[in-house]
Amino acid sequence: MAAVCFTSTPLPPTDIAAAGGAAAFRQAIADILIDVPPVPRRSPAEPVGTHVLDGESCAVGLGLAFGHADSTALEKLAHAASLAGATGLRTAPGHAILVVGLPRDTAARLTDIAQQLGFIVSAQDSRRQIIACAGAPICAAAKIATRAVAPILASDAVISGHAAPMVHVSGCAKGCACPRSMPLTVVGIGGRCGVVVNGSAQDQPLVTLLPEALPAVLSRVTTMVQRMRAADESAAEVLSRLDREQIARMMLGEATDA
């Protein structure tokens, strides 16, 4: 990165850029460029939680569970925010909403109401580690009700305590919500759930089972990960060092020497 100090130049900078583009402009000012260190990158801001603003006001950041909220919950939230003295609502990265302009003494009450309405009020909420598409019956291509399956996975300790999303619940093999590889992907296949480890919704599942069988499978995964995890090792890292046959047998409850 370079800083520019203009002294004199035969042509206005706009004329140089128009004639030869940025390269020509940079060549024309090469003698007056000063190298400076790059601006340090700032960590992404966390939208969920209470944020103190100027004066006596604050903002409350609320996450949408699995990126979704119904109109009734949003209407009730807007009404509660108005009664609490908020000046408005703003969208934020990470499927979040910021309630802004709140008096500080009303923020806790609004947070309680938002939690009762199903919004995410804590940055550590395990639902934030799950990516889920709309699923059936909202999407005609979906083979499972993803927003019924996702809470089952969110309640399991195998995904708790991680900073990045770890689970993708996809209604079909298209994987619209998350085309990349994930440590654990649940994909709808003819009304059943295919379970993919360290892959995407388009990959071959290790096992395919009914949605009601997922809790038992996830419980086995949890037990195995907790038993094998090293001090600073994530669940994803544990799963990555096991072979497919080993994980499949563990999911099905068969004996394994893992």
CATH number of domain containing 179: 3.30.413.10
Give the structural domain span for 101: 49-123
Q: Which of 94, 123, 152 is the last residue of a domain?
A: 123
- For 143-160, the pLDDT digits (tens) are 999 999 898 888 754 555
Q: What is the rounded average pLDDT of the residues 171-182? A: 93
For residues 77 and 114, is the Cβ–Cβ distance under 8 A?
yes
Q: Are residues 53 and 22 in the same domain?
A: no
Q: Are residues 178 and 208 in the same domain?
A: yes
Is 43 inside any structural domain? no
Q: Of 86-90, 97-101, 147-151, 170-174, which range is least confident?
A: 147-151
Residue 192: the pLDDT is: 95
Is 239 inside any structural domain? yes
Average of per-residue pLDDT values in the chain: 85
Q: Are residues 76 and 148 in the same domain?
A: no
Q: What is the rounded average pLDDT of the residues 11-25? A: 67
Q: Which of 123, 156, 178 is the last residue of a domain?
A: 123
Is 158 inside any structural domain? yes
Is 42 inside any structural domain? no
Q: Are residues 154 and 183 in the same domain?
A: yes
Is pLDDT of 222 > 90?
Answer: no
Is 44 inside any structural domain? no
Q: Are residues 227 and 150 in the same domain?
A: yes
Shortest CA distance to 15 belongs to which of 4, 24, 6, 7?
A: 24
- In percent, the amount of the chain with pLDDT more than 70 equals 85
Is 258 inside any structural domain? no
Number of structural domains, the chain? 3
DSSP string, the chain: -EEE-----SS-HHHHHHHHHHHHHHHHTGGGEEE-PPPPPPPPP--SEEEE-STTEEEEEEEPGGG---HHHHHHHHHHHHHTT--EEEEETTTEEEEEEEEGGGHHHHHHHHHHTT-B--TT-GGGGEEE---TTTSTT-SS-HHHHHHHHHTSGGGTT-SS--EEEESSTT-TT--S-EEEEEEEETTEEEEEEEE-TTSPPSEEE-GGGHHHHHHHHHHHHHHH--TT--HHHHHHTS-HHHHHHHHTT-----
Is 176 inside any structural domain? yes
CA–CA distance, 185 with 130 (Å, rounded to integer): 10
Q: Are residues 140 and 218 in the same domain?
A: yes
Is 198 inside any structural domain? yes
Q: Are residues 79 and 114 in the same domain?
A: yes
Q: Are residues 196 and 138 in the same domain?
A: yes
Q: Are residues 82 and 101 in the same domain?
A: yes
Q: Are residues 169 and 111 in the same domain?
A: no
Residue 161: the pLDDT is: 47
- For 125-144, the pLDDT digits (tens) are 988 888 999 999 999 999 99
Q: Are residues 106 and 217 in the same domain?
A: no
CATH number of domain containing 62? 3.90.480.10
For residues 136 and 169, is the Cβ–Cβ distance under 8 A?
no
CA–CA distance, 120 with 125 (Å, rounded to integer): 7
Q: Are residues 132 and 119 in the same domain?
A: no
Q: Of 143-147, 161-165, 193-197, 203-207, which range is least confident?
A: 161-165
